[in-house]
Amino acid sequence: MKIICERNELLNAITGVGRAVSSKSPVPAMEGILFHCEENSLKLTAYDLELGIITYTPAEIYDPGDIVINARLLGEILRKSEGDTVQIETEPNLMVRINSGLTKYSFMGLPASDFPELPVPDTDSTMTIPGQDLQDLISKTIYAVSVSDQKPVHTGSKFIFEDGTITVVSVDGHRLAVARKHGDNYREDRPFIIPAKTLQEVSRLIGDSEDNIRIGTARRYAVFNLVGYTVVTRLLEGDFLDYKKSVPVSYRTSAVVDTDELSSSVERASLIISDRFKSPIKMRFDDGVISISCTTSTSSVYDEISCELEGDPIDIGFSYRYVLDALKNSGAQKVIMRLNQPTMPMTIVPTEGDDFLYLVLPVRLRTNE
């Protein structure tokens, strides 16, 4: 194989697909990127057996061929080289020679036959969604995905289609995040569960793009077709939480609050909390005020903000991080906080519409808190 590419274009392509490269694998080829020449472009593929990413970059093809090149080494070479173009040439013994500017490298590659075969699923169901809509759905829910393997199905987000609405749900046992978008293209379809890693990488690849994204699903896989990239991912299987049964149908206390004001107050209260001195924050809703306080074995803090309060006064405790995550990912200037009693979850919803719904489980307060 012998090719010449624009260095920056190749580096951007390597960076994009590199997110699917295995960082440490007993199979060396999975730590690399598969190079495959096609007419006047270079096809790059990375695959870690769960997530695969494909892209094409322009190239002058002088001698076609296939080879696997270590992704970390290639990326560092391209970043530190000073030439505008890069020439990559391989020999029959798999020696790779890279020239850029006055700098020349040589090292061993791996045969393309060592690279794991990326599934090409026959997607029997497809839908189209604006890229920014998908990115918004991901950003509003990804924070609540479980990081524990105790229930693997909850390490992803569930996509549900009904009544012209796409709903994305994440849950980790302590909190629940639901985000929705309405549109004519969101027809009735079977639900599926996408791993969090895939959603994070799809969101990064979308970036600021306004283009539509096509999502196709098969029984075990999903395919995201973005501008410049194809992402293939394994679907998660199992019994996902029925989120509708978890949301309280009524509430005794309701507070409309400025999101930034409450976030800042919770952050101030959290300054005395550390790994050594752990404690929940106490929130008291009463007389148009939310009082936020916290007490550890060595410190205490008190703060308060105003709110539009309806219903009964209530004292309730929370992990400060869970409250902050919900507020900051809402993207709303104001939210409504709905509560029942200190042992029941708090619901956070927008003041208008139904774009999101967050559920945060309380923490039991000690009597002296």
What letter would DSSP give residue 298?
S
* Under 8 Å between Cβ of 313 and 284: yes
- Same domain membership, residue 352 and residue 281: yes
- Same domain membership, residue 108 and residue 51: yes
What local confidence, expressed as pLDDT, does residue 185 receive? 65
Within-domain flag for 41? yes
- Tell which of 191, 220, 243 closes a domain: 243
Within-domain flag for 367? no
Find the helix or strand (DSSP H, E) in which 188 lies: none
Task: Provide the residue range defining the domain that includes 42.
Answer: 2-114
* Residue % of the chain over a pLDDT of 70: 98
What pLDDT, in 10s, does the model give residues 84-100?
999 999 999 999 999 99
- Same domain membership, residue 227 and residue 147: yes
The pair of three-digit structure tokens given for residue 335, joined into one six-digit string:
């939210």
| Residue corresponding to tokens 């205490």 | 300
| Residue corresponding to tokens 């199979």 | 27
Instruction: Report the mean per-residue pLDDT for the chain.
Output: 94
Within-domain flag for 175? yes
Within-domain flag for 120? no
- Same domain membership, residue 88 and residue 194: no
Q: How confident is the model over 257-268, as a mean pLDDT?
A: 98
- Tell which of 227, 243, 259 closes a domain: 243
Of 210, 130, 135, 194, the C-alpha closest to 160 is: 194
What pLDDT, in 10s, does the model give residues 300-345?
999 999 999 999 999 999 999 999 999 999 999 999 999 999 999 9
- Same domain membership, residue 289 and residue 235: no
For the chain, how many structural domains are there in total? 3
CATH number at residue 292: 3.10.150.10
From CA 298, how far away is CA 126, in angstroms rounded?
Answer: 57
- Does 189 have pLDDT greater than 80? no
Within-domain flag for 368? no
- Same domain membership, residue 334 and residue 264: yes
Within-domain flag for 329? yes
Which bin fits 13, alpha (ψ -120 to 50), beta or left (φ > 0)? alpha
More confident residue, 121 or 266: 266
Amino acid at 50: E
> Strands 41-47 and 32-38: what pairing?
antiparallel
Within-domain flag for 198? yes
- Same domain membership, residue 314 and residue 268: yes
**pTM for the whole thing?**
0.91
3-state secondary structure at position 335: strand
Kindly indicate the confidence band of residue 69, based on its pLDDT and cuts at 50, 70 and 90. Answer: very high
> Strands 300-306 and 308-311: what pairing?
unpaired
3-state secondary structure at position 262: helix
- Same domain membership, residue 239 and residue 268: no
3-state secondary structure at position 90: strand
From CA 22, how far away is CA 36, in angstroms rounded?
Answer: 19
- Same domain membership, residue 236 and residue 154: yes
What letter would DSSP give residue 110?
B
Q: How confident is the model over 175-185, as a mean pLDDT?
A: 89
What local confidence, expressed as pLDDT, does residue 246 receive? 92
- Same domain membership, residue 158 and residue 89: no
What local confidence, expressed as pLDDT, does residue 162 receive? 84
**H helices present in the chain, as ranges:** 7-17, 71-80, 131-141, 196-206, 259-270, 320-330
Half-sphere exposure of 314 (CA within 13 A, CB side): 23
- Does 369 have pLDDT greater than 60? no
Kindly indicate the confidence band of residue 163, based on its pLDDT and cuts at 50, 70 and 90. Answer: confident
What local confidence, expressed as pLDDT, does residue 365 receive? 85
Residues contacting 113, CB < 8 A, separation 6+: none
Of 231, 170, 237, the C-alpha closest to 48 is: 231
- Same domain membership, residue 233 and residue 132: yes
- Tell which of 87, 114, 141 closes a domain: 114
Within-domain flag for 369? no
- Same domain membership, residue 219 and residue 262: no
